[in-house]
Amino acid sequence: MAQHYELTYIVSVKYLEQELDAVIKKIADLVNEHKGVITQTENLGKQRLAYPINLTHQGTYVAVEFDLEDESNLLKLDKQMKVVGELLRYMIIKKRIKTAEEIEREKKIQERLTRDKKDELEKIEEKVKAEIKKSEEIVEEKVKDEDKKSDKKKMTLDELDKKLDEILTDDVI
């Protein structure tokens, strides 16, 4: 019975896109050479390394899932991976193949989580809108109050002249 494995490796960023594709093909050929059947290959992109490896601070991560019948072929593959010069690090792990029910259950869980987050965001959005409306009403009230106060205090220049004349006339007499 075939076992399912995942090979994750890091390629130095000094390799350009075409050279990276050649490295990915080289690794795929190694897996196939050892009677492995590749089920998925995913380029995870450039990422910063946790610590420098050979004075390199970034690497391109690639994950390859494959099935392999014989464990002795896995050991041979591991030995050949050690001498591939383009790789900074690699790791092969045994993975359990998920059943269709498990995949469906995980999908439903993810959908439920997404729906719950969406509902939560909508509630927060409603609260924020209510707070904004409340704040706008308070600001409008204050503006109206200020307008009323300022309306009482405003006088035209003619009115000011008359008042001044009255005050001066009253004082002179």
Q: State pLDDT tens for residues 21-37.
A: 999 999 999 999 999 99
Residue 93 lies in a domain: yes
- How many CB atoms lie under 10 A from the CB of residue 110? 10
What CATH number is given to the structural domain containing 23?
Answer: 3.30.70.60
The strand pairing partners of 68, in sequence order, are 3, 36
User: In this structure, are 63 and 89 located in the same domain?
Assistant: yes
C-alpha triplet 77, 58, 51: angle, nearest 5°: 85
Residue 86 lies in a domain: yes
Residue 172 lies in a domain: no
Residue where one domain finishes, among candidates 97, 117, 135: 97
Query: Based on the structure, what is the number of domains in the chain?
Result: 2
Q: State pLDDT tens for residues 50-105.
A: 999 989 999 999 999 999 888 888 999 999 999 988 999 999 999 887 788 888 99
User: In this structure, are 37 and 118 located in the same domain?
Assistant: no
Max Cα–Cα distance, the chain, nearest Å = 123
Between strands 87-95 and 56-68, the pairing is: unpaired
Structural domain that includes position 115: 101-162
Name the pTM for this structure: 0.59
User: What integer pLDDT is reported at residue 157 of this predicted model?
Assistant: 82
